[in-house]
Amino acid sequence: DVCSSDLMRAHGIPFRGLAASSTRTRILVVDADRTASATLKDVLEGLGTCEVATSGDVLAAGFECGRATPDVIVFDASAGDPCWFTTTVRSRPGFAHVRVVASGTNLPDDERPLLRAGISGVLHKPYSVRALVDALGIDAAANAPRAATCAA
């Protein structure tokens, strides 16, 4: 017996407020540097598989998480402590699955403490678009710019 919600999902029909774009990867970029956030948003949305929101601090990130649960959060150390942020986000109901990728210029070379804290990946700035896509675990469009770097 197939319930109506399963039937609707099987045929791609939005159900219970699910957006038609729900197959796109929802990414939240948290970075105190607005230029860096804008660059990441442009690059990721240019891949054609991502829906990107940005925030400049943990408070704004909390509001964004309240609007829509991201699949992945790119959290730059300029906005705060990535370990604290990861623990806080994952403690919220419905957020245990959210992956957090830490980025920054002054992250430790030894990534093990960050990974033990629950961070899914670490990106040391500057990093390539390829490194970003790999860390996020998303499928990039064939025409994505591979040579660009995110240094801000």
pLDDT tens digits along 70-112: 999 999 999 999 999 999 999 999 999 999 999 999 998 899 9
pLDDT classification of 151: cutoffs 50, 70, 90: low
The 10 Å CB-count burial string (b at 16+, else e) for 29-61 is bbbeeeebbebbbebbebbebbbbbbbbebeeb
Give the mean pLDDT of 115-138. 92
Phi, psi values for residue 68, rounded to 5° = -155, 135
Q: Classify residue 103 as exposed, middle or buried by CB count within 10 Å of its CB (0-12, 13-18, 19+).
A: buried
Q: Classify residue 101 as exposed, middle or buried by CB count within 10 Å of its CB (0-12, 13-18, 19+).
A: buried
Q: What is the DSSP letter of 134?
A: H
More confident residue, 146 or 38: 38
Do 79 and 54 touch, CB atoms closer than 8 A?
Answer: no
Q: Most confidently modeled of 18-22, 49-53, 107-111?
A: 49-53
Beta bridge partners of 104: 124
Give the mean pLDDT of 130-145. 73
Give the mean pLDDT of 12-40. 75
Q: Is the pTM of this model over 0.85?
A: no
Sorted by sequence, the CB contacts under 8 Å of residue 108 that are 6+ apart come out as 114
Do 93 and 69 touch, CB atoms closer than 8 A?
Answer: no
